[in-house]
Amino acid sequence: MEKLLQLFRKSNAEFLKRDSNLIASGVSERCLCGALMLFLHNSIQKSPFKEYYVDVEYNRNDKRIKTIMDEQEHIIPITCDLIVHSRGAILNQDNLIAIEMKKSSASFGEKLKDKIRLKALTRDTFDNMWSYDGKTLPQHVCGYLLGVYYEVNISSRFIDIEYYERGEMIKTERIHF
């Protein structure tokens, strides 16, 4: 987990240094995720995780639409803004990092949905509702080692970040760009 956190922070620092003007220009979250993806990809290629991929808005789980189960056991189809995963190739740890990005101008409800999604994605299991056999992916997506909620405040030029692990927020930080 600590190595993934360091990898994300290094990639993010490079992204903020190189693309602060892009962020300040007010481009879409999708554009920002694409730019951050490049820095994550470069960092991963130089790390023990080089067999993993970084994808923007990836929504498949073994050819099915990715779903999570929320706290009320509702099944929700999802598309993460940015993920680091093996695309199903490394079954014992397919999912590494899930990132949800929002601008500070988004509604409270939209921000809350992303945070709830990260809690679900970083859970170890859905109350043992699926069993891991080493051969098949779980029905609902979970098991990400690190979740990152990334909120961009363009006018004040800072990023608020919340980190999630095992279904809980573990730390926050504010970074100026």
The closest of 171, 142, 158, 153 to 61, measured between CA atoms, is 142
Alpha-carbon span 167 to 100, nearest angstrom: 14
Work out the average pLDDT over 30-56.
Answer: 97
Q: Burial level of 75, CB count in 10 A (0-12/13-18/19+)?
A: exposed
Q: What is the pLDDT of residue 128?
A: 45
The answer to which of 57-71, 89-103, 155-169 has the lowest mean pLDDT is 57-71
Work out the average pLDDT over 36-61.
Answer: 91
pTM, two decimals, is 0.86
Query: What are the residue boundaries of the structural domains of the chain, listed by start?
Result: 2-176
Q: Which amino acid is at 120?
A: A
Q: How confident is the model at residue 123 (pLDDT cuts 50, 70, 90)?
A: confident
Alpha-carbon span 116 to 164, nearest angstrom: 10
Residue-wise pLDDT tens digits, 15-37? 999 999 999 999 999 999 999 99
Q: What is the DSSP letter of 152?
A: E
H or E, element range at 15: helix 2-24
Q: Burial level of 65, CB count in 10 A (0-12/13-18/19+)?
A: exposed
Please tell me the number of Cα atoms within 13 Å of 150 on its side-chain side.
Answer: 24
Residue-wise pLDDT tens digits, 67-114? 666 666 667 667 789 999 998 888 888 899 999 999 999 999 999 999
**Which CATH number is associated with domain 2-176?**
3.90.1570
